[in-house]
Amino acid sequence: MRLSLYGLILSLTLGLPAVAQQDPIQSTIQSQLNAFQVDDFAQAFSFASPNIKSIFGSSDNFGAMVKQGYPMVWRHTAVRMLELRTVAGNLWQRVMVTDAAGRTHLLDYMMVETPEGWQINAVQLLPAQDLGA
């Protein structure tokens, strides 16, 4: 009994660092999604990590990539934040979005903490079979 209680306490406390970051991480992602909704690509680009900014170079390039590669993010009709996980030392926020046609998509956002706060370092569109009922 004592061992299982210890295991429960240990598993709960190991998850605390991710849980403590959940609100600011979700706020960053939601703020970027809000900027996409009004075509404010400069604002949306401000939530990208330095690595992403160096890859795309400008908010115009970034906006073109999002419109072409992630239309469900650019023109979503609903957003639901799911679990925040630590994978290989990185924080990943799973997000479910519904696109303009009513289709649901799962995405994973890799987050990094910078002097400017939490920023998005990668977005991964998950295969459709990952959507469960």
- pLDDT tens per residue across span 18-77: 555 679 999 999 999 999 999 999 999 999 999 999 999 999 999 999 999 999 999 999
Position of tokens 């992403």?
Answer: 52
pLDDT by residue (tens digit) across 99-128? 999 999 999 999 999 999 999 999 999 997
User: With helix as H, strand as E and coil as C, how does 12-64 read?
Assistant: HHHCHHHHHHHHHHHHHHHHHHHHHHCCCHHHHHCCECHHHHHHHCCHHHHHH
Confidence of residue 11 (pLDDT cuts 50, 70, 90): very low
Domains of the chain with bracketed CATH: 2-130 (3.10.450)
Helix (H, G, I), strand (E, B) or coil at 120: strand
pLDDT band of 6, cuts 50, 70, 90: very low
Distance CA 78, CA 120 (A): 20
* Average pLDDT value over all residues in the chain: 87
